[in-house]
Amino acid sequence: MMKKTVLALSLLFAGRLLAQTPNWSEHIAPILFNNCTNCHIDGGIAPFSLVGYEKAVAYAGGIKSATSNRTMPPWPADLQYQRYAHERVLSNEEISAIANWVDGGMPKGDTTKAPAKPVLKKGGTITNPTRNLKMPDYTVKTTSDEYRCFVLPTGFTQDQFLTAIEVIPGNLRVVHHALIFHDTGSKPAQLDAADPKPGYLSFGGTGSSTSDLIGIWVPGSEPYFFPNGFGIKLLKKGNIVLQIHYPGGVNNVIDSTRVILKTTTAPQRQVAIQPALNHNAPNLQNGPLYIPANQVKSFNNKYDLPLDVSVFTVGPHMHLIGSSIKAFGVTPNKDTIRFVDIPKWDFHWQRSYTFRKVVKLPSGTSLRGQATYNNTSSNPLNPNSPPQAVSLGEGTGDEMFLVYFWFTLYQPGDENIIIDNSVLKNVSKTSVIKTEATRIYPNPTLDFAWVSDIRFTEGTYHWSITDMTGKIILKGSDIMQSGKRCKISVSDLPPGAYQISVQQGNIRFNGRLLKQ
Ligand code: HEC
């Protein structure tokens, strides 16, 4: 009798402990500082900071919904399809802790137990780099997308192997994404000399046939470390060519991006980065890549491997009207090897995905890609309103279909190389970026909504609100608020669903807002 009571009491006590509301200092701050504040920090790429208790409280509702929908942190690949090294996702437990904290009145807890406040990272993550190459200051002043290449001499006196690479954007507001090439020819220097400004304009790759891709940077990217013993060969006579994409509508903003390289002269197994799945014949099965206005169209590509290879990383690439992309391999004995599935493509959150273990692809494996493009007005990222035919090209208004592979020639045992053996987080739901939800908030709203988009820059923008019959009911222009966001007031509108459009230069945002 006595024993039973004690047991019942202790169970009750345990239950209470579990049900205890999490507090910011001990439970929530660590989640936010580990998963959010690399972007959500003053001067970071996100439109507001989540550093400090007051900030977390101010955005509590949004934090709860963005984490439970898995729209934040951004991680577009479907984790039911494949799991990756260094995933930036929250576990189910972390998501419930946030929800319980918000629902439980957001207690602060004992602030002496809170982790140290994160600070904006200005330097690199790679320690003791071999080279820290800074491009010349460049004043960005453009009304349309600008792709500019900067030639950065390495000064190497011996051939090297690249073992880690990192890009530090000079100005997060204007550096959209960057490709880093290694070039052993003289063409880039000639093109640079012919262009009066720093660097040279180049819409395609670098404009040089001797350029090889060695790295990719997009907002929120971490540095890339090759597995131990592997690297990309850099000849001493080569230069780094940094191609940066600046969005249109930027007026006199200075950028000076840096490329950090870690290299060794010790021989490494050679890695290459190639778009083995691409939009060119004969790879593209049902080309050409052309999407008529008001159509949803899918394409397939295919490449049969002539050799055994080992793959570390894949990186899918499309532009604005891309809506989904998937890549896998079918081995000669018909096993399917899953690479990546992005059910809702979002141009802003393209990134590369590194496998947790090196993946062996036997000779004869058929690499397959599937991509769908939504060129209708239901696609909030469609840059054209009304939609216009889109074909293959380098501009953000054109389309592409590429899947890059970071690979090396296979050697026995490669499939046992572990890249990340951290414990996998428990993730029950597919993580899919819901574009509209992330960019219009709060949504639904009573009085006003913020519209944010990482493509926005400072300066004027035009906005309009359309009702469900397609009639424009309000429009105007305004100046962008700090953090690349616009404040749209809807307090005078009757409750209902509306379409919000914001236009800046040739960047257009469309999304749906619910007014309560
Ligand atoms: C890689 C950078 C990055 C990381 C990491 C990140 N965010 Fe964001 N977040 C953004 C950007 C940029 C926006 C603005 C929307 C846009 O342009 O897509 C945003 C928007 C938001 C919004 C407003 C829109 C919405 O979805 O309701 C909330 C809330 C938010 N983030 C919360 C978080 C939380 C909480 C975390 C961590 C668990 C997090 N974010 C991690 C970049 C990031």
Considering the domain architecture, whether residues 251 and 283 belong to the same structural domain is answered as no
Q: Which long-range contacts (CB under 8 A, 24 or more apart) does 298-302 make?
A: 298/370, 298/371, 298/372, 298/373, 299/370, 299/371, 299/372, 299/373, 299/401, 300/368, 300/369, 300/370, 301/277, 301/368, 301/369, 301/371, 301/401, 302/277, 302/366, 302/367, 302/368, 302/369
User: Which residue's alpha carbon is nearest to atom 26 within ligand 1?
Assistant: 438
Q: Is 379 contained in some domain?
A: yes
Residue 5 DSSP symbol: H
Q: Closest ligand 1 atom, CA of 90?
A: 38
What's the domain count of the chain?
4
The larger pLDDT score, comparing residue 90 to residue 62, is at: 90
Backbone angles phi, psi at 109, to 5 degrees: 75, -170
Q: Report which protein residue has its CA nearest ligand 1's atom 9.
A: 46
| pTM score, whole prediction | 0.87
pLDDT tens-digit series, residues 151-198: 999 999 999 999 999 999 998 878 888 999 999 999 999 999 999 999
72 CB near ligand 1 (under 6 Å): yes
Tokens of 265: 């002269």
CB 71 near ligand 1, within 6 Å: yes
Question: Within its chain, how far is the Cα of 414 from the centroid?
Answer: 28
Dump pLDDT digits (tens) for 126-162: 999 999 999 999 999 988 788 999 999 999 999 999 9
Contacts of 160 (CB under 8 A, 6+ apart): 130, 154, 233, 234, 236, 263, 264, 265
Confidence check: pLDDT of 17 > 50: no
Q: Whose CA is nearest to atom 20 of ligand 1?
A: 438
Q: For ligand 1, atom 10, which residue shows the shortest CA distance?
A: 46
SS (H, E, C) 121-166: CCCCCCCCCCEEEECCCEEEEECCCEEEEEEEECCCCCCEEEEEEE
What's the average model confidence in pLDDT over 432-459? Answer: 75
**What confidence category does residue 5 fall into, taking pLDDT thresholds of 50, 70 and 90?**
low
Whether 63 is in the pocket of ligand 1, judged by its Cβ within 6 Å, is yes
**Res 290: pLDDT:** 98
Instruction: Indicate if ligand 1 lies below 6 Å from the C-beta of 73.
Output: yes
CB-based burial label for 147 (10 Å; 0-12, 13-18, 19+): buried
Position with higher pLDDT, 9 vs 280? 280
325 and 439 together in one domain: no
Indicate the top mutation candidate among 35, 39, 49, 443 to test ligand 1's pocket, ranked by most ligand atoms within 8 A of CB.
39
How far does the centroid of ligand 1 lie from the alpha carbon of residue 74, in Å? 7
At residue 25, φ and ψ (nearest 5 deg) are -60, -45
Q: Would residue 27 count as lying in a domain?
A: yes
Task: Express as a percent the part of the chain with pLDDT over 70.
Answer: 94
Question: Which of 203-207, 259-263, 386-390 has the highest mean predicted lDDT (pLDDT)?
Answer: 259-263
Q: Quick count: other Cβ atoms within 10 Å of Cβ 22?
A: 21
Q: Are residues 307 and 452 in the same domain?
A: no
Instruction: Mark which of 270, 304, 323 sits at the end of a domain.
Output: 270
Task: Say whether pLDDT at 12 is over 50.
Answer: no
Centre of ligand 1 to C-alpha 473, Å, is 30
Query: Which of 247, 270, 293 is the endpoint of a domain?
Result: 270
- Ligand 1 centroid from CA 50, angstroms: 10
Single-letter code of the amino acid located at 347: F
Mean pLDDT of 422-440: 73
Domain of residue 252, CATH code: 2.60.120.310
Pairing of strands 485-489, 131-134: unpaired
DSSP state letters, 426-495: ---SPP---HHHHHEESSSBSSEEEEE-TT--SSEEEEEEE-TTS-EEEEEEEEPBTTTEEEEE-TTSPS
CA distance 268 to 55: 47
> Cβ(493)–Cβ(475) under 8 Å?
no
Residue 261 lies in a domain: yes
**Residue 15 pLDDT greater than 50, yes or no:** no
- 290 shares its domain with 368: yes
The finding on whether 445 has its CB within 6 A of some atom of ligand 1 is no
Q: Do 289 and 230 belong to one domain? A: no
Nearest atom in ligand 1 to the alpha carbon of residue 31 is 38
Query: Any idea what the CATH number is for the domain that residue 506 is in?
Result: 2.60.40.3080
- Confidence (pLDDT) at 186: 96
Query: What pLDDT is attached to residue 437?
Result: 57
- Domain of residue 397: give its range: 271-433
Q: What is the pLDDT of residue 277?
A: 98
> What confidence category does residue 456 fall into, taking pLDDT thresholds of 50, 70 and 90?
confident
Alpha carbon distances (Å) from 447 to 303, 443, 492: 53, 10, 8
CA of 347 to the centre of ligand 1 (A): 15
Cα 368 to ligand 1 centre (Å): 32
User: For residue 3, is it within any domain?
Assistant: no
The reply to whether 511 falls in a domain is: yes
Please give the average per-residue pLDDT across 444-468, as a whole number: 84
The answer as to whether 1 is a domain residue is no
Whether 62 lines ligand 1, by a CB cut-off of 6 Å, is yes
Quick one: average pLDDT of 50-56?
96
- Looking up residue 402, the CATH number of its domain turns out to be 2.60.120.230
Pocket of ligand 1 contains residue 36 by CB under 6 Å: yes
Tokens 């090889």: give the residue.
Answer: 212
Residue 187 covered by a domain? yes
Looking at 407, 433, 459, which one is the last position of a domain? 433
Question: Is residue 6 domain-resident?
Answer: no
Which pLDDT score, from 0 to 100, does residue 446 have?
Answer: 83
CA gap 474, 336 in Å, rounded: 52
Asked if residue 146 and residue 48 are part of one domain, the reply reads: no
Asked whether residue 16 carries a pLDDT value surpassing 50, the answer given is no
Q: Ligand 1 pocket, 453 CB below 6 A?
A: yes
Distance of CA 126 from the midpoint of ligand 1 (Å): 25
Q: Are residues 256 and 362 in the same domain?
A: no
Q: Which of 348, 446, 453 is nearest to 61 (CA)?
A: 446
Alpha-carbon distance of 113 to 405, in angstroms, equals: 44
Predicted confidence band of residue 14 (pLDDT cuts 50, 70, 90): very low
